[in-house]
Structure 1
């Protein structure tokens, strides 16, 4: 006969809990490791965002910087970075503050998924380690950090909405009205994702109610009340920022839906993205084929609504690009949280999670190596920018035809906003620094050169802009709501041209550009002013 030791089962459970917590801490450290191994994580939009944070934190103290940009603190639905990073920069460098924000964004996605699973099943378990494979996604690649940060907050908020469903209506309305305002201010699209999750969950909850019954009206009233204030703020903001210039909305080719499908693991590194996608597809197939692995019924409608939104969202929505691939990563996180594993499938689940940990470590190693190579280039440019006098106007050229052999198109895009580091290092003016509905604006003396969004010029457009009389557009012409012609007459308007040319060493405009610094993949030119300027 075996004697049971009192409390031994509880002690074993506590020990397992501590071991699981330790595992998550170690894996979380591995997840953020690539972020802290580089000076500037090579996320497409990130250098541009980081330069904005530098302006908000330091423009008042640097005359050359305030001559190009001014802070414009207005309430708008994209303030997550603006409210956090400049405050962090009071205690650390702007570069470290940005990396802390990126790390927090990754951990919010992980923590939000774990919290949702805890809310659904009462425990976290090992299964959410699959989420680590979703952290380095296409959204992160593009540097859409405000949205990704807010989406992580949205997962926590959705978990709280489910967890507090039995509390009093006044408490829920008060708490979640506050939460939705925070989500709205952080990023509008993150609020949309949270709203779709709540809508799907409430549709599931009221499925047994009679139409227009007291219970149904009450449920929808409480659910909808939390969105009243954010809707009012959005309406006011929309009216205040109306423009006679038409915005661009374009669905794009159907092939973009494939990008959306693989976006949870698409980091522009095929040698690890493809194996990760195959692995996750295999995990999904095994879960679907095993009768002992199911899915939380209350999460099916939220997943369905998010999927429908993904299919419906265009490539450009009101001149905002990339809405078509923003939701699938959140769908994947909710899928991970909602998986239900019966005892008969525990062994299979352990095999899958252990394999997921191995794949995650491999994925992190590849990302780290890839980023290290690009970081060396970023650091080379950052040091070379010292050749520019502070406060000067800088034009950027990068032609897609100059992309290095063997590199996919996404590789070159990681350098689009690299010159924004000169805004941090040399207080330079860069015409396509993000100024559309954000916390900074171009100073009055350079507003004609400012475009709220944009990318580097091609060599063809650089040639087009030499003579204003023959250029396609007059200076400042609104091509659409957020893009203006900033290059027309550039020899008279700019002081330096940065050419991200990779292997193409040809001077893009020899008559107007004097080389001052040649790098391994870029050139910095001083602009030679036209003779007519000298006559004047």
Structure 2
């Protein structure tokens, strides 16, 4: 059975022109989407700096006694490790900020090039259509900083291309490739394994039901090549501490539309909706004129993806936004199944112009907002310089958070810069067992959030210190005046010192405040507390 459709003959001159223009446009688009990452040493992606801080600890804990005082690394079989495996070794060559940029850039490149590779193996040649991936390189899932998943999702698209390329050959070859791919994806993220399996299932369902056949036709060798590579996931999960999070599952119908919106989401909702409307309009118009053709397997992929998306819970294995991560992966998968049939040179030039224009507009949107957020990052780094090395830092939120969602997202994990710059223990460091290999030593484990919850509010801190908190379960911030050295309050707007008897303001960044927590002075004579 052919894996693609017939290709119309074209003149040699036309082929040469397309052969020159497509690589040039692709290179231009790659440079455009890489530009924000290359020009920002610490991209303001919500979770990113927390992950980067973990990379710093992994890379430096053996040689840094301050880090070793607080942290320890427990390597385990966790389906969420690719950044931990790739970035720390890079810090032997460059600093951790540049190493993070390299990983982020590799993630973006994997995502946008995957559809091109799928189309190449599916149809035997490239068309301009997969370039539509570039305007979506920056999306809501990337802005949340879900790096391991996105790297895995991009790799899964390449894995699908490899499967299709080997589909007409011996089953053992694609089975071997798939086995390697499943293990690599497991190291990236468990959900990436699911994306890859869903893509293969859709393609194989199309193969099993050729047109005009009432019943599926499946050879045993094909079935084994498909199924066997996924079997190691079972023992790996049984040996993984992540299995302990298997009961943390929540399904919600609300948010499914928001999950679709993350595909186009950047910083301004109205602008994102306008871009989405424009893209939908162009697709409908082009399809109506016969300029777009979806491979039959692509329709199967969309049907399977819709069913999976509706069935997926919001929280799966303790990971929030489990279902909302899927649409962006489906987009990059599906783009490879679509062909652009416009052979008129003017039409193709118009297509290139539209894709370039949309990509540049989206990149400028990101660049402008990152530039605005960069001022906050620089201010935050300045405040971190006021923290003593090896300090214990508590993070809290203002009672009435001010600011917009953009600024708040970029600020949410900024205190973790203190882990990189001052070897500090930060209460919001990602140390959830079963999700990360980073842990806190027993003497300090009760001073960090080990449940991925929300930091306390100022009101909660004051109630805890005054003994007026209502009956509740013990919290890691209890008795905070005696157990922490510094306090960051995020999302403030010039609020006064909430507790002058215990707190001394060191830095007011407008959007955040840094306080030194007052403790009794130690006498020089006998080393006892006054």
Question: Match of 1:224, SS?
Answer: helix
Task: Provide, for residues 459-484 of structure 1, a one-character-per-residue CA deviation record: whole Å limited to 9, x for no partner.
Answer: 23222332467455444xxxxxxxxx
Instruction: Structure 2: state its 5+ residue gaps.
Output: 1-9, 522-527
Task: Provide, for residues 370-393 of structure 1, a one-character-per-residue CA deviation record: whole Å limited to 9, x for no partner.
Answer: 101101111111122111111111
2:227 is the alignment partner of 1:224: yes
Equivalent positions of 1:343-422 (< 5 A) are 343=342, 350-399=349-398, 401-404=400-403, 407=404, 409-422=405-418
Distance across 2 between alignment mates of 1:241 and 1:64: 32
Question: Match of 2:259, SS?
Answer: helix
2:117 is the alignment partner of 1:118: no
Distance across 2 between alignment mates of 1:248 and 1:232: 20
Aligned counterpart for 1:525 among listed residues 507, 515, 518: 515
Distance across 2 between alignment mates of 1:235 and 1:289: 50
Distance across 2 between alignment mates of 1:326 and 1:458: 29
Q: Is the 8 A contact 1:129 1:356 kept in 2?
A: yes
Equivalent positions of 1:183-222 (< 5 A) are 183-208=185-210, 215-222=218-225
Q: Is the 8 A contact 1:296 1:338 kept in 2?
A: yes
Alpha-carbon deviation of 1:149? 0.4
Q: Is the 8 A contact 1:146 1:186 kept in 2?
A: yes
Q: Is the 8 A contact 1:419 1:498 kept in 2?
A: yes
User: What's 1:314 paired with?
Assistant: 313
Q: Is the 8 A contact 1:468 1:488 kept in 2?
A: no
Task: Provide, for residues 377-421 of structure 1, a one-character-per-residue CA deviation record: whole Å limited to 9, x for no partner.
Answer: 1111112211111111111122373322xx3x3531221101100
Question: Match of 1:402, SS?
Answer: coil
Higher mean C-alpha displacement, 355-364 vs 340-349: 340-349
Distance across 2 between alignment mates of 1:292 and 1:270: 30
Structure-2 change in CA distance of 1:500 and 1:76 (3 Å): same
Instruction: Structure 1: state its 5+ residue gaps.
Output: 1-7, 476-484
2:261 is the alignment partner of 1:259: no
Q: Is the 8 A contact 1:154 1:193 kept in 2?
A: yes
Task: Provide, for residues 268-301 of structure 1, a one-character-per-residue CA deviation record: whole Å limited to 9, x for no partner.
Answer: 3335322221222212322442334220101211
Task: Provide, for residues 419-438 of structure 1, a one-character-per-residue CA deviation record: whole Å limited to 9, x for no partner.
Answer: 10011001111122111231
Distance across 2 between alignment mates of 1:99 and 1:272: 27
Task: Provide, for residues 52-96 of structure 1, a one-character-per-residue CA deviation record: whole Å limited to 9, x for no partner.
Answer: 000011111111111111122222101110111111111111001
Higher mean C-alpha displacement, 443-452 vs 420-429: 443-452
Q: Is the 8 A contact 1:48 1:434 kept in 2?
A: yes
Structure-2 change in CA distance of 1:41 and 1:472 (3 Å): farther
Distance across 1 between alignment mates of 2:172 and 2:331: 33
Structure-2 change in CA distance of 1:465 and 1:253 (3 Å): farther
Distance across 2 between alignment mates of 1:200 and 1:319: 27
Question: Match of 2:443, SS?
Answer: helix
Equivalent positions of 1:474-485 (< 5 A) are 474-475=473-474, 485=475
Equivalent positions of 1:450-489 (< 5 A) are 450-452=448-450, 453-467=452-466, 470=469, 472-475=471-474, 485-489=475-479
Distance across 2 between alignment mates of 1:281 and 1:460: 47
CA RMSD of aligned residues (A): 2.6
2:175 is the alignment partner of 1:176: no
Q: Is the 8 A contact 2:25 2:352 kept in 1?
A: no
Provide TM-score, normalisation by structure 2. Answer: 0.90
Alpha-carbon deviation of 1:530? 7.7
Provide TM-score, normalisation by structure 1. Answer: 0.89
Distance across 1 between alignment mates of 2:214 and 2:182: 29
Alpha-carbon deviation of 1:12? 6.2
Structure-2 change in CA distance of 1:472 and 1:136 (3 Å): farther
